[in-house]
Structure 1
């Protein structure tokens, strides 16, 4: 199977990811392609330091979409995984995702998500306490930093236009019965370490959702919008989360206002989550 990793200035975290992927992999088991794009740091050098286990396809263009296309062209096999450089994924998780794709009718899969919340301030923890309870967050493939597809699923993704919210678009490209969240696989996702970086990340998400809806890409897999009914249901089940819901709403409102000013082409990167 092939693993494509687009990486823009990911020298801080790329080694952590690659070490986990190769932790107990057999020689030649994974075809890993790292695509350093527009890097000004040691991303390419770190990828190359893993020797024959990792192939490097570098481009001067700082573009995730272009990096994914380049990585796709270099990749050799299926299933195919697209993995963000700032998450943690291990050998066994990759194998579990591949096994899930053997199920008839399953075209795409993603791992169970674990958030690394140590050291995050209360507003960030409050936001994610609500976010992780939202129905679409629980069942969607997005927000995990990794998606695995069969060859048929890959064809579905290849037909999508390039958008900012690429993981959300990838999730919505598949109907619920075509995708799977694999409990036997776990990805560790690193949320922002500051409230400011949380706002930047959510501003990007809001702009990306607008872009998807403008392009008509919010079907057949549903919508990523959070409705009042979703938040009301959380408040009824767990009343202690009401202050957290207030934080969630405040972040959503601020992020949407910022996104409406900056438009759908500005990439707001969160740097703090890459510090460890």
Structure 2
């Protein structure tokens, strides 16, 4: 395939992601001309062969750091490339190359500085509480319109400057989403990123505990962020009764996660990453 002018850079922080990384990088590079993306994988604190796997994919540059810090990995990746627009991609999600290009085109439009893909959350293999939770979560208005929870977003050069000026917080994608007014960000139709959900309720609670901890940190910094109230859930249940039947499961998991988050909050621990291994390949 003929080499193409570089359309965007892609920064991929990766911590022990060897199981699914090759497939995700291959999906990103397939279906687009060689050289379309300047891909930088930043292996942070890895104890497996993530770096070796990344280097095995043609067209990928690899940086390694001993620190298991996603924030540092993103900083190193940003410093390693000067190309815009810039896609930030989690190592455990799959974004096809043609869809990545659609995100790039979106931020080229006047006034649009951030774009994200539509989510594909395949819950068929998850337990029923997980399926019930995501049935509610995916129908929340702020979840449908926000950039967070997608594992991928694209920023214009101005968008990246705005994000760089923010305080680094645990819930990084939520803060990125809230850095832009609704008219400045876009969820691009006819794109899809596969975000694998937890397999069990226990795994889901670990993931939501991390989110609850990060939300508390954002509150401490007076950072504006999307939230869901009880009235939002009631309105959703009235509009969609089949979804409303699952609201009690959603509320139960949310309450448990918030209570478990208190320990980290009391300790001021906003760096421990409660990782959900069940969603890895």
TM (norm. structure 2) is 0.94
Range with bigger deviation, 113-122 or 125-134? 113-122
- Give the corresponding residue for 2:96: 90
* Structure 2 unmatched runs, 5+: 1-7
Of 44, 52, 71, the residue aligned with 2:51 is 44
RMSD: 1.0
Residue 146 of structure 1, aligned match among 144, 152, 168: 152
Verify the 8 A CA contact 1:2 1:78 in the aligned structure 2.
Answer: yes
Q: How does 1:67-146 map to 2 (within 5 A)?
A: 67-146=73-152
1:212 shift after superposition: 1.0
Cα distance, 1:240 vs structure 2: 2.7
Which residue does the alignment assign to 1:256? 258
Structure 1 residue aligned with 2:217: 211
Match of 2:232 in 1: 230
Question: For residues 103-150 of structure 1, what are the alpha-carbon distances to aligned partners after superposition, in whole Å with 9 as ceiling and x for unaligned?
Answer: 100010001111011211100000000000101000000000011000
Q: Is residue 2:14 matched to residue 1:7?
A: yes
Provide the C-alpha distance between the structure 1 equivalents of 2:110 and 2:240, rounded to a whole number of angstroms: 37
Q: What are the Cα deviations for residues 69-91 of structure 1, in whole angstroms up to 9, with x where unaligned?
A: 00001123010000001111001
- Taking the aligned partners of 1:235 and 1:243, their CA distance within structure 2 comes to 7
Shift, 1:239, TM fit:
1.8
**CA deviation digits over 1:152-198, x for unaligned, max 9?**
00000111111110000110111111111101221111010111110
Name the SS of the counterpart of 1:161 in structure 2. coil
User: Equivalent residue for 1:23?
Assistant: 30
CA distance in 1, matches of 2:160, 2:48: 31
| Whole-angstrom distance in 1 between the partners of 2:85 and 2:244 | 42
Unaligned runs of 5+ in 1: none
Q: Which runs of 4+ in 1 moved over 4 A?
A: none
Task: Decide whether the 8 Å contact of 2:234 with 2:244 is kept in 1.
Answer: no
State the alpha-carbon separation in 1 of the partners of residues 239 and 128 from structure 2: 21
2:5 is matched with which residue?
none
Partners of 1:242 and 1:97 in 2: how far apart?
A: 33
Does the aligned pair in 2 maintain the 1:5–1:33 contact within 8 Å?
Answer: yes
CA contact (8 A) 1:115 1:188 kept: yes
Shift of 1:241: 2.8
Superposed CA deviations along residues 39-84 of structure 1, whole A, max 9, x for unmatched, are 0001000000013x00001111100000000000112301000000
Q: Tell me the distance in 2 between the aligned counterparts of 1:10 and 1:267.
A: 14
Q: How does 1:238-253 map to 2 (within 5 A)?
A: 238-253=240-255
CA-CA distance at 1:209 after TM superposition? 0.8
Take 1:107 and 1:241, find their aligned partners in 2: how far apart are those partners? 33
Find the residue that maps to 2:147 and give its secondary structure.
Answer: coil
